[in-house]
């Protein structure tokens, strides 16, 4: 061996130690939980931002760039099926520095969001108790729900949820965890179909009657009048639909995460399209049905006014349910099974979203470590469960920090997460556009689809379409309720990327001291 050769290998070892134990349908339901968990009720709270928008049209329009980005991740995941997803293909296809910096930001956003969604899980349980308490006139249940919605109680509940799922994915193998997602996912789909059918049978006049019965004569229209008197203008048309496009685009995010565990998916060429593209199509249908049955039964103007009053703190008849629309269904159908169905539809995916998010986060840590851009300990795998235990525990700790941040400083926490998600998909889209030209050899050797349309590779066209959607989404959300860019949030976001740059520089220096040229790793696709 020559003296000028590295003293240690380019990668931490010659195989990852992970196994291909995840199926396509496992990942399909993981994607469904990732995108829909907690999101529909959140979307109702945003209706006032585009009062009167045609959400059917908005969703279909923004589905196209979402599908394009999903196809980008699918093609990259099939061509480079390794842990780390966009980190691997950006670091190999564009720039190792940008790959690390960008994936670090996405890693931060994903893991921080675990804390946010643990609070949603706590809230949905409270809303269910509140529904039962209200319908049965049980003040004890209502008081319990009110207590559960208090900040400290929500934190304790959220903490319990994080710890339960952390223990689950630490001490069971990945295949078992994903099998659990498959079982609960099937249950979610069945419950969703039944619940939406029940919701769709409610007419607006039935709901007005039921609402006024419990809230007082004329209460339904008073909600609308209150919003109008406080400045809400309900104006259906092109302008408000354009305002809804960025919200519709954001509603589809998270579907790219299966690429992070693509190295563990069986028959990845068949399974990953199911996990990303197939799931996206079903999610589109889910959103279309959710919006339309909600508007049909409760009235879009009413829901828009409700969201406006709720967000701005104006008086509402029921202060204990937020924008949890299943409560409205229970006002019409008081059958005790209805709240249970709602729990399966809205709470279950919010809870089981923790498994793929935690696993996806660990695969970023694992991939960095495997490339020697993070300490080696993060890529160590349990011989028994084939799980990177230290990485998993690290994710849990960071998720708890996210929970505390969102609970006690939400003004910074949530707006840091949303912009980083928005910015984080720009670099992968640019990589898709440029890789056939910047890394031609890698593209020719690795890529499974190399066809061209009008002289431009398909992957480049997909990247262009995705990039247009991302940029439009950012422009539409910039300095809005969802993404207020101010000094505090700007510093927080900038700090995430600065920390990433420092880590990259430190690990680069450490590797050079060991006799390893880090640039060599980024010229190769990591071993399986």
Q: Would you state the structure tokens that stand for residue 486, as one six-digit string?
A: 């101010």
The Cα angle at residue 497 between residues 492 and 499, in degrees rounded to 5:
90
Per-residue pLDDT of the chain (528 residues; tens, 9 = 90+): 344 444 455 665 456 767 788 999 999 999 999 999 888 999 999 999 999 999 999 999 999 999 999 999 999 999 988 889 999 999 999 999 999 999 999 999 899 888 888 888 888 989 999 999 988 888 898 888 888 888 889 899 999 999 999 999 999 999 999 999 999 999 999 999 999 999 999 999 999 999 999 999 999 999 999 999 999 999 999 999 999 998 998 899 889 999 999 989 999 999 999 999 999 999 999 999 999 999 999 999 999 999 999 999 998 998 888 999 999 999 999 999 999 999 999 999 998 999 999 999 999 999 999 888 899 899 888 888 888 899 999 999 999 998 998 888 876 666 667 888 888 999 999 999 999 999 998 888 888 888 999 999 999 999 999 999 999 888 888 767 777 777 777 888 888 999 999 999 999 999 888 888 878 878 877 766
SS3 of 491-509: the string is HHHHHHHHHHHHHHHHHHH
Number of domains the chain contains: 1
Q: How far apart are CA 153 and CA 143, in angstroms?
A: 13
CA angle in degrees (0–180, nearest 5) for 520-525-528: 125
Q: Assess if residue 1 is contained within a domain.
A: no
The whole-angstrom separation of Cα 441 and Cα 447 is 10
- Integer Cα distance of 42 and 403 in angstroms: 17
Could you tell me how far CA 454 lies from the centroid of its own chain? 34
Look up the domain containing 181 and give its range.
Answer: 24-521
Count other Cβ atoms within 10 Å, centred on residue 182: 17
- Estimate to the nearest angstrom the gap between the alpha carbon of 43 and the chain centroid: 13
Q: Report the pLDDT value the prediction gives residue 514, as an integer from 0 to 100.
A: 83
Q: Give the pLDDT confidence score for residue 6 in this predicted structure.
A: 42
Q: What's the CA gap between 470 and 76, in Å, rounded?
A: 18
The C-alpha angle 220, 226, 228, rounded to 5 degrees, equals 110
Q: Is residue 427 included in any domain, yes or no?
A: yes
Instruction: Please report whether residue 6 resides in a domain.
Output: no
**507 with 372: CB under 8 angstroms?**
yes
Distance CA 118, CA 123 (A): 9
In a domain, 434, yes or no: yes
CATH of the domain at 243: 1.20.1740.10
Q: What is the predicted pLDDT for the residue at 512?
A: 87
Residue with tokens 């691997």: 88
CA angle, residues 443, 449, 451, in degrees to nearest 5: 95
pLDDT at 215: 93
Residue 14 lies in a domain: no
Residue 19 resides in a domain: no
Residue 117 structure tokens: 């969604």
Its pTM stands at 0.92
3-state helix, strand, coil in the chain (%, to 5): 75, 0, 25
Q: Is 324 helix (H, G, I), strand (E, B) or coil?
A: coil
Closest alpha carbon to 104 in 418, 491, 499, 432: 499
Residue 503 covered by a domain: yes
The three-state (H, E, C) secondary structure of 95-137, written as one string: CHHHHHHHHHHHHHHHHHHHHHHHHHHHHHHHHHHHHHHHHCC
Round to whole Å and give the CA distance between 428 and 457: 16
Q: Which residues contact 133 (CB under 8 A, 6 or more apart)?
A: 139, 140, 141, 142, 143, 144, 145
Distance of alpha carbon 373 from alpha carbon 233, whole angstroms: 52
Q: Which residues of 487-501 are buried (b: 16+ CB within 10 A; e: fewer)?
A: eebeebbeebbeebe
Six-digit token string for 450? 């190399």
Contact 288, 58 (CB under 8 A): no
Asked if 46 contacts 243 with a C-beta cutoff of 8 angstroms, the reply is no
* 393 neighbors 170 (Cβ within 8 angstroms): yes
Is residue 347 included in any domain, yes or no? yes
User: Which residue, chain included where needed, has tokens 């701005």?
Assistant: 312
């Amino acid at each position: 061996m020559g003296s000028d050769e590295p003293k240690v290998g380019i990668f931490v070892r010659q195989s990852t130690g992970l196994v291909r134990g995840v199926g396509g349908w496992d990942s399909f339901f993981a994607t469904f939980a990732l995108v829909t968990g907690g999101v529909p009720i959140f979307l109702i709270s945003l209706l006032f931002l585009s009062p009167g928008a045609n959400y059917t049209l908005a969703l279909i329009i923004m589905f196209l760039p979402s599908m394009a980005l999903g196809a980008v991740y699918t093609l990259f995941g099939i061509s480079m099926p390794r842990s780390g997803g966009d980190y691997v293909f950006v670091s190999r296809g564009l720039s190792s520095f940008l790959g690390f910096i960008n994936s670090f930001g996405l890693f931060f956003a994903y893991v921080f969001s675990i804390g946010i969604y643990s609070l949603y899980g706590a809230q949905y349980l409270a809303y269910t108790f509140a529904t039962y308490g209200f319908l049965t006139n049980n003040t004890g249940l209502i008081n319990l729900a009110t207590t559960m919605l208090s900040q400290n109680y929500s934190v304790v509940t959220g903490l319990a949820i994080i710890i339960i799922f952390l223990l689950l994915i630490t001490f069971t193998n990945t295949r078992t965890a994903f099998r659990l997602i498959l079982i609960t996912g099937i249950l979610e789909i069945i419950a969703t179909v039944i619940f939406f059918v029940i919701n769709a049978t409610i007419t607006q006049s039935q709901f007005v009657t039921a609402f006024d019965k419990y809230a007082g004569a004329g209460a339904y229209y008073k909600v609308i009048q209150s919003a109008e008197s406080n400045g809400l203008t309900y104006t259906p048309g092109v302008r408000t639909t354009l305002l809804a496009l960025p919200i519709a685009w954001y509603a589809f995010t998270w579907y790219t995460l299966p690429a992070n565990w693509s190295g563990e998916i069986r028959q990845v060429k068949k399974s990953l399209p199911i996990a990303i593209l197939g799931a996206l199509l079903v999610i589109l249908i889910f959103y279309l049905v959710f919006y339309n049955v909600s508007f049909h039964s409760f009235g879009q103007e009413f829901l828009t006014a409700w969201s406006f009053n709720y967000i701005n703190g104006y008086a509402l008849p029921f202060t204990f349910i937020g924008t949890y629309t299943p409560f409205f269904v229970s006002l019409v159908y008081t059958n005790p099974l209805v709240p249970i169905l709602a729990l399966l539809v809205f709470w279950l995916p919010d809870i089981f979203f923790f498994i793929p998010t935690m696993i996806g986060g660990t695969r970023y840590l694992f991939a960095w470590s495997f490339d020697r851009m993070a300490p080696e300990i993060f890529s160590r795998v349990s011989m028994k469960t084939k799980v990177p235990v230290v990485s998993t525990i690290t994710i849990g700790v960071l998720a708890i920090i996210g929970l505390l941040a969102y609970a006690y400083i939400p003004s910074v926490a949530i707006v840091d997460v949303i912009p980083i998600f928005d910015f984080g998909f720009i670099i992968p889209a640019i990589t898709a556009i440029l890789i056939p030209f910047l890394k031609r050899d890698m593209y020719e050797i690795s890529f499974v689809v190399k066809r061209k349309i009008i002289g431009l590779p398909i992957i480049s066209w997909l990247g262009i379409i995705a990039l247009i959607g991302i940029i439009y989404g950012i422009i539409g959300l910039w300095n809005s309720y969802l993404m207020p860019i101010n000094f505090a949030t700007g510093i927080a976001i900038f700090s995430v990327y600065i920390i990433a740059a420092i880590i990259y520089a430190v690990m680069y220096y450490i590797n050079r001291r060991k006799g390893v040229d880090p640039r060599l790793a980024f010229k190769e696709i990591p071993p399986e």
